[in-house]
Amino acid sequence: MGKLVRDRIPELFGGNYYGMDEGQYKLELYKKLEEEVEELLENPTSLEEMADVAEVLSSILKVNNYSLRDLTAKMDAKRILRGGFEKRYYWERAK
């Protein structure tokens, strides 16, 4: 069973590979995101793991016709509307 890998992996390590159509590629990107987030959760201060998550997220943006600028603008808009996470609030809804 295979998985989505970085572009140079076949060149560096050999093995069989093929290109995917857009539908399969999108599906595999989301699987890869789960894999990379799990690795980050196992090592939460690893800049390398953070970079892997960001790389996959960047590819997801591209395949959905968004840019990092679009993402940053959306983050800014949400921060203005609802705030960020700087205050470290842990909230429990009133009953």
Contact 30, 64 (CB under 8 A): no
Torsion, CA 49, CA 51, CA 55, CA 56, rounded to 10: 30
| Domain count along the chain | 1
4 lies in a domain?
Answer: no
Statement: residue 1 has pLDDT above 90: no
- Domain containing 18 equals 9-82
pLDDT grade, residue 2 (50/70/90)? very high
64 lies in a domain?
Answer: yes
Per-residue pLDDT tens over the stretch 48-93: 999 999 999 999 999 999 999 999 999 999 999 999 999 999 999 9
Average model confidence (pLDDT) for the chain?
96
72 lies in a domain?
Answer: yes
